[in-house]
Structure 1
């Protein structure tokens, strides 16, 4: 994308392959960070934004080499105090957690305790940190998400074409995600598939939770026992749908909540796990299988369990496989 700068002047932008296919309204909201959404739609509706000298609608999809006219707009002042520094420990450690990288994708082993993006009281997340670490990279977007307390494989696109390719795979269920979770009790061998509709709720306290509810969205997770322990089971959980907190709620629904889940687990079980040294939610995105957006090669990327999870397993007593 070539641009002639200055927010207080008319800008002419030439659309490249990374932005071809994107709706003009979404393109503008990314480009004009700090500008209210209502203003973005207003300047489009009034014809102040033009593509190839013509008025367009908000749903217009940009084409390669389109000439986009951007009128002068006032952008909110950026609060640099909230921008992560590349020297910060947590930001710089992400560089050491990259599992795979090429010109299309970055696959990272996300640590627990860091959000995938800023917002809701969080100043920054993985995607903001990566943008600091890769200042020359003009496009970096999350392909999917992981809960803040969940660790493991996270996929980031470096090109819009790669993002679209990955999203098509997710929609067509061609991408396979395999998680590892330590759950309470002995997982029943016949519970190989949990199908339970999930509904998002907001409690009076303002806390957001998810519950199994017939009015919720259809949700499916497939489970496989990996190792049985005294009082607990290590399972592989493979979500077929991608609902918020899906694995966590499906485990709870099956009667086997995940260890140290502050929303859905059980105090007595969690206390026993903490006594063994577990310091976090035992849910880890261990493996991701997908088709590479350029080579069409079927790829498998794996992320090892972190030391705290590994240490916890060594403290448990195996009771069979």
Structure 2
């Protein structure tokens, strides 16, 4: 190798090292080793369950001539919900003649939003390309207001409401992580870029004591806002509490609520990727307990404000069962 080539090689190596050192450092921990096998098992189980899944009229929470909203079950892939939607639409026909008409003019179904495999809740399917493009743009532009319900395990928070602002991106190992808010815009391994991420939370109940408040506009209080710039300091407390929270994501990042719950020290029950316990009070959980409760947006055709809500899952109702009795609230 010539001296010139050797100098060029060493120079390239140095540049690569400098570039690597300039990558932002994630503030949330890497995936726990135990999560790999558990997630693989869950994925295989979900694949089997999804292949047998059939959407029924009972899963439909709203329908008009342009879109259909459904309550996606836990442990089912979005694609399988979409592929089974035509059968649910056909079930709304009351006669063979109407069914034949439906088959002849089968709508062009598209997913307007997606949910994680184990996240249940409201999901919107549009019936035409044109409506799909409008609604997807509304999601992309953060014009759709969303609420989620999460059952978490950790130390009971000292706050009733809080907003957390951070950055979001994929680490060099491909896992989604929390980054400092000041890292927004910086490059990451693989060519992606760190993006902003913001979620507001309100506590609904702690250890079954509380109440299910009506969904309303969350009013941020800058005095109760965390702007993430360093790793979270978590209290090492032996006694853990069960906390039911409502989340208001103001951006639409992958695993956003799960990551922010982890950062706040109240990881979602069953969420093994983000430090959530999967064994709790003698029960082993095969999925995380997160539910897409509601979506509100301007209808892409009529322009009217529309609110879509999915019924709460059994686990959420169980977490609130004590609050249903006024004497224990």
How many residues are aligned here? 220
Distance 2:170 2:307 in 1: 32
5+ residue gaps, structure 2, are 1-46, 90-102, 184-193, 209-240
Cα gap change, 1:110 to 1:100, in 2 (>3 Å): same
Provide the secondary structure at the position in 1 that maps to 2:199.
Answer: strand
Provide the secondary structure at the position in 2 that maps to 1:164.
Answer: helix
TM-score (norm 2): 0.60
Contact 2:177 2:259 in 1 (8 A): yes
Does 2:65 match 1:103?
yes
Q: Which residue is equivalent to 1:90?
A: 53
Provide the secondary structure at the position in 2 that maps to 1:167.
Answer: helix
Cα gap change, 1:219 to 1:244, in 2 (>3 Å): same
**Structure 1 vs Structure 2 CA RMSD:** 3.0
Distance 1:317 1:186 in 2: 20
Alignment equivalent of 2:250, drawn from 240, 246, 252: 240
Q: Which residue is equivalent to 2:151?
A: 182
Cα gap change, 1:316 to 1:211, in 2 (>3 Å): farther
User: How big is each residue's C-alpha offset from its partner over 1:119-168, in whole Å with a ceiling of 9 and x where there is no partner?
Assistant: xxxxxx21122245555424111111100000000011112221122123
Q: Which has the higher helix share?
A: 2
Cα gap change, 1:209 to 1:315, in 2 (>3 Å): farther
Does 2:182 match 1:212?
no
Distance 1:317 1:103 in 2: 37
Alignment equivalent of 1:128, drawn from 83, 100, 125: 83
Q: Which residue is equivalent to 1:29?
A: none
Q: For residues 25-104 of structure 1, what are the structure 2 equivalents within 5 Å?
A: 90-91=53-54, 93-104=55-66
Cα gap change, 1:316 to 1:292, in 2 (>3 Å): closer
Distance 1:266 1:305 in 2: 21
Deviation (angstroms), 1:317? 12
Q: Which residue is equivalent to 1:146?
A: 115
5+ residue gaps, structure 1, are 1-83, 118-124
Does 2:193 match 1:223?
no
Alignment equivalent of 2:125, drawn from 127, 140, 156: 156
Distance 1:209 1:313 in 2: 33
Distance 2:158 2:132 in 1: 38
Deviation (angstroms), 1:315? 7.7
- Higher relative contact order, chain-length normalized (CA < 8 Å, sep 6+): 2
- List 4+ stretches of structure 1 deviating above 4 A: 131-136, 276-279, 315-318
Distance 2:61 2:284 in 1: 27
User: How big is each residue's C-alpha offset from its partner over 1:78-133, in whole Å with a ceiling of 9 and x where there is no partner?
Assistant: xxxxxx9xxx8521x4432010111110100000101112xxxxxxx211222455
Provide the secondary structure at the position in 2 that maps to 1:219.
Answer: strand
Distance 1:250 1:143 in 2: 24
Contact 1:278 1:309 in 2 (8 A): no
Q: Which residue is equivalent to 1:173?
A: 142
